[in-house]
Amino acid sequence: MANQGRSKTASRKNSPRRDRSPASVFINERRLLRDLNAISKIGIGSGGSVTRLVFSVKDLRSRQLLMHLLGQAGLKIHIDRIGNIFGRLEGLHPNAPAVLVGSHLDTVMHGGKFDGTVGVVGALEAVRTLKEGRVPLASPVEVVCFVGEESSRFGFSTLGSSLLAGEITFEDLTHAVDQDGTKLGDILSNMGIYWENLASLKRAPSTLKAYLELHIEQGPILEAKKKKIGVVTSIAAPTRFRVIFVGQADHSGTTPMEMRKDALVAAAHLIIAIEEVCLKFSHVNKGRVVGTVGALKIEPGVINAIPGRAELSVDVRSIKAEAKDRVAKLVKSKAKEIARVRGVKVQFLPIRSENPVALDKDIGSLLEEICEDKGLPYEIMPSGAGHDAMQLAKITRAGMIFIPSRRGISHSPMEWSDPKDICLGTQVLLETIVRVANEAL
Ligand SMILES: [Zn+2]
């Protein structure tokens, strides 16, 4: 990734300041890292990878442990129908809208220990420290763990937070199927969630004051620029669809090259075309677009048969909606052209298309202030990866704090964030919670 943000160091001296609470409470670093480690052990596999796919037994076990920890901290636990977990600390005004703080515990297949988990355990640590320190908070604060942020099982991301924000239609769920053929819609029906009552999972915006999320950057910028905190301005959103080429499965020995209708060769041409199209949209300010084919299914998928069917997943993202839509359109017209030239059929199945989201400017400036007060080098930056915050931003003011990811690697057992950075990020989160919970609406 290119340099895409503005760099700031602690320098602002004469800016007008709001009321501030002294940072007299400090998180318990040992406890934070202990709980992070305990959760990371659930779903651990070869090479230190972590797999907790949404609705899997491992996912449920990590959520059980979180509920235990929330209970131990004396927070009031509430679980909504999809399974989003809330641990509430009452404020001085119990009827005031709440500050929601959290992330997710589900992971990709063979993922890392930090993506999502840092945000949930960080929120837990911040809120229990505030409770223990009897820090006066005007608004209630709720630790939240959202269900199914990762899309690796169903190709459908931010499930729990989307439902909370009222951002899902049953149509969206129609094509969400896992590798074993299990439909996401069927899982929801089994939980008593149907399209008729989908809207009832939405949380009334009037009950929310703000949403805060601590997360690993999942990119290389903070580390490369030696910054400790990323102040996130906006989140790139994906447009996702499947492309299916249908040709003719024939014998690999008897069918002459010029008589073949090879679906996989058509797919291969499209994959190259997607890279070419996105490279033309590589400039950040004009709306940098990235496109990926991350999954490919071939039939019959044997060594001695020409592939008769090839199904590709396409994921296109940008923080500029227009640029993203243009690329998605171009990809589809390229696919049609390739199909025509190669004499195969092509079909498109939509998965989901979302608009990029801007995060709250005031929370962003507050984060800048906190970093400056603490003398922490920070970076103002967009997020290339999707997060629960992009759904919450639709119903409340949302802010995100990034901490550095070693070599920018994530969704891999190599994913790593320095424990010191995790603690620092959590302390910044705590101070942000105090300021937001106590600021006048
Ligand atoms: Zn995440």
Question: pLDDT per residue over 124-176, tens digit each?
Answer: 999 999 999 999 999 999 999 999 999 888 888 899 999 999 988 767 777 78
Mean pLDDT rounded to a whole number for the chain: 91
Dihedral pair phi/psi, residue 269, rounded to 5°:
-60, -40
Vertex 77: Cα angle to 203 and 160 (nearest 5): 40
CA of 385 to the centre of ligand 1 (A): 8
Instruction: Kindly state the tokens that stand for 387.
Output: 């997060």
pLDDT at 14: 42
CA of 277 to the centre of ligand 1 (A): 27
Dihedral pair phi/psi, residue 213, rounded to 5°:
-135, 125
CA of 150 to the centre of ligand 1 (A): 7
Instruction: Kindly state the tokens that stand for 198.
Output: 């989908």
Using a CB cutoff of 5 Å, list residues around ligand 1, an ion. 115-116
CA of 258 to the centre of ligand 1 (A): 47
pLDDT at 222: 97
pLDDT tens digits for 45-56?
A: 988 999 999 999
CA of 211 to the centre of ligand 1 (A): 15
CA of 251 to the centre of ligand 1 (A): 44
Amino acid in the structure at residue 344:
V
Can you tell me the distance from the alpha carbon of 318 to that of 289, in angstroms, rounded to the nearest whole number?
A: 5
CA of 47 to the centre of ligand 1 (A): 20
Contact 317, 337 (CB under 8 A): no
For domain 237-353, give its CATH number from 3.40.50.1820, 3.30.470.10, 3.30.70.360, 3.30.565.10.
Answer: 3.30.70.360
Q: Which residues contact 47 (CB under 8 A, 6 or more apart)?
A: 413
CATH architecture of 6-235+356-438: 3-Layer(aba) Sandwich (3.40)
- Among the listed residues 215, 89, 203, 210, the one whose alpha carbon sits nearest the alpha carbon of residue 149: 215
Can you tell me the distance from the alpha carbon of 441 to that of 206, in angstroms, rounded to the nearest whole number?
A: 12
User: Containing H/E element for 314?
Assistant: strand 309-318
pLDDT tens digits for 239-294?
A: 999 999 999 999 999 999 999 999 999 999 999 999 999 999 877 566 789 999 99
pLDDT tens digits for 364-390?
A: 999 999 999 999 999 999 998 999 999
CA of 108 to the centre of ligand 1 (A): 9
Tell whether the torsion through CA atoms of 432, 433, 434 and 440 is positive or negative: positive
Whether 3 has a pLDDT exceeding 50, the answer reads no
Residue with tokens 């919970």: 437
- Whether 6-235+356-438 and 237-353 share one fold: the answer is no
Can you tell me the distance from the alpha carbon of 51 to that of 431, in angstroms, rounded to the nearest whole number?
A: 32
Instruction: Kindly state the tokens that stand for 295.
Output: 């999954």
438: left (phi over 0), alpha (psi -120 to 50) or beta: alpha
Can you tell me the distance from the alpha carbon of 144 to that of 203, in angstroms, rounded to the nearest whole number?
A: 13
pLDDT at 188: 87
Decide: pTM greater than 0.85: no
pLDDT range class, residue 10, cuts 50, 70, 90: very low
CA of 343 to the centre of ligand 1 (A): 41
Q: Where are the domains of the chain?
A: 6-235+356-438, 237-353
Mean pLDDT of 206-212: 98
